[in-house]
Structure 1
Amino acid sequence: MNRNAAELLAPAAAVLLVALLVAALAGAWPPFVAVESGSMEPTVERGDLVVVTATERFPWDGLTGHAEPDAPTRLGGTGDVVVFDPPDGETRPILHRIAFRVSAGEDWTDRADPALLDGDCDAIEACPAPYDGYVTYGDANGEYDQSAGIAPIVREEWISAKALVAVPNLGWFRVGVDAAVARIGLLPTAVGVTGLAAAAGGVGAVVIGRAGRGRESARE
């Protein structure tokens, strides 16, 4: 029975080990972000899983805005795509692209793209910039976050990670886990996910074992 239990739990342990390894390399936890909206389409769609890293992690150190010279290409566009958490306590973490950095007191609309603005500085609550930070936007949105009222000027300390690559559709599992945690709590969700991983591993082991025995019988 101990051997069977170990075999059933092995897949769950392997998944955890891989997650810990990716987190160690990326320098961020969790090392994956599930996309819940279409604001970064078409490159990143709802249900995708985005691998993220710490903002200072080599060789992707620092933060670069879309408008800066020689900005890197990230997720289908230029400039870093970051995960930031507005301080209002109600908005979930946002995955959007950095447009440019601003300084406290700056009328940043002077160097913004007019197509992404709704009015001049006097009409935008986040202008002039109340502190140093970043102007951001979603690739599929028609305005800067700060013009549309989605987020204030993003302080650097609000940014928890930046994106490296998106994997289509793998984020649906994470979205489901988050929904389960919100509904029934962390511990019951963890027990359920571990049980599902163990069951899947057990079924896989049985299928592989039967296939192996079938091949041996055929050779005999």
Structure 2
Amino acid sequence: MKGDRSGLFGPAAAVLVVALVAAAVVGAWPPLVAVESGSMAPEVERGDLVVVTATDRFPWGDVAGHTAPDAPTRLGDAGDVVVFDPLNDGRGPILHRVAFPVAAGDDWTDRADPSLLDGDCADIAACPAPHDGYITYGDANGEYDQSAGIAPVVREDWIRAKAVLSVPELGWFRLAADAAIARVGLLPTAVGFGGVAAATGGLGAMLLGRLRSETRV
């Protein structure tokens, strides 16, 4: 029985160790973000996995917006893509691109792309800017987050991480795990996913062994 239990928890423990090491390197937890919507398409689609780093880790400097001179290219376009979480809005973290910084009291619509606005400053709740921060948007959306009411002006301390790269489709596993945790809890989910990983690994080893045996013959 002890051997069976170690086989069950081994893969889950390995995944946890990899995640912890990645978090130590990039300085962000979680270091991998599963994309739940298509707001950053076409470069990042729903179900993709995005690797992120803390904003104070190499190679980052200050947050660079889309309109900044010599803005870096992140996930297919200019400007940093960040994970931010407005406090107490009930929506959870958002992965969107930074457009430009603003200061408290700014009528930031003067610097905005008119095609991404729904009206002028008087029509937008987040204008004038209530505090220093950033205007943001999803690449596939038709408006700035602050014009569409998706998020207020994003404070610096709301930004958790910056996106480095995306891996297509690998986020579905993370989304499935999150859904399972929400439904049955962390421990049953870890046991279930660990069992699946162990069974998959055992089947793969068996098939590989048979293939090698047949190859030797």
TM-score using structure 1 length: 0.92
Give the equivalent residue in structure 2 for 1:94: 94
Partner amino acid, structure 2, of 1:160: R
**How many Å separate the matches in 2 of 1:8 and 1:186?**
15
2:135 partner SS = strand
Give the equivalent residue in structure 1 for 2:120: 120
Aligned length: 217
Write the deviation string for residues 68-123 of structure 1: whole angstroms up to 9, x where unpaired: 10100000000000011121341021110000111111111111111111111111
**How many Å separate the matches in 2 of 1:5 and 1:207?**
22
Q: Is the 1:72–1:78 contact (alpha carbons within 8 Å) kept by the matching residues of 2?
A: yes
Residue 91 of structure 2 is aligned to residue 68 of structure 1: no
* CA 1:72–1:195: 2 relative to 1, 3 Å: same
CA RMSD of aligned residues (A): 1.7
Unaligned 5+ runs, structure 1? none
Partner amino acid, structure 2, of 1:201: G
1:50 partner SS = strand
Q: Does 28-37 or 8-17 show the bigger shift?
A: 8-17
Write the deviation string for residues 165-189 of structure 1: whole angstroms up to 9, x where unpaired: 0111111111111111111122221
2:33 partner SS = strand
Partner amino acid, structure 2, of 1:158: W
Unaligned 5+ runs, structure 2? none
Give the equivalent residue in structure 2 for 1:165: 165
Q: Is the 1:96–1:139 contact (alpha carbons within 8 Å) kept by the matching residues of 2?
A: yes
**How many Å separate the matches in 2 of 1:61 and 1:214?**
56
Residue 45 of structure 2 is aligned to residue 45 of structure 1: yes
Q: Is the 2:8–2:191 contact (alpha carbons within 8 Å) kept by the matching residues of 1?
A: no
2:97 partner SS = strand
Residue 24 of structure 2 is aligned to residue 24 of structure 1: yes
**How many Å separate the matches in 2 of 1:191 and 1:6?**
11
**How many Å separate the matches in 2 of 1:212 and 1:153?**
60
Q: Is the 1:7–1:202 contact (alpha carbons within 8 Å) kept by the matching residues of 2?
A: no
TM-score using structure 2 length: 0.93
**How many Å separate the matches in 1 of 2:146 and 2:200?**
45
**How many Å separate the matches in 2 of 1:16 and 1:208?**
26
Q: State the percentage of identical aligned residues.
A: 69
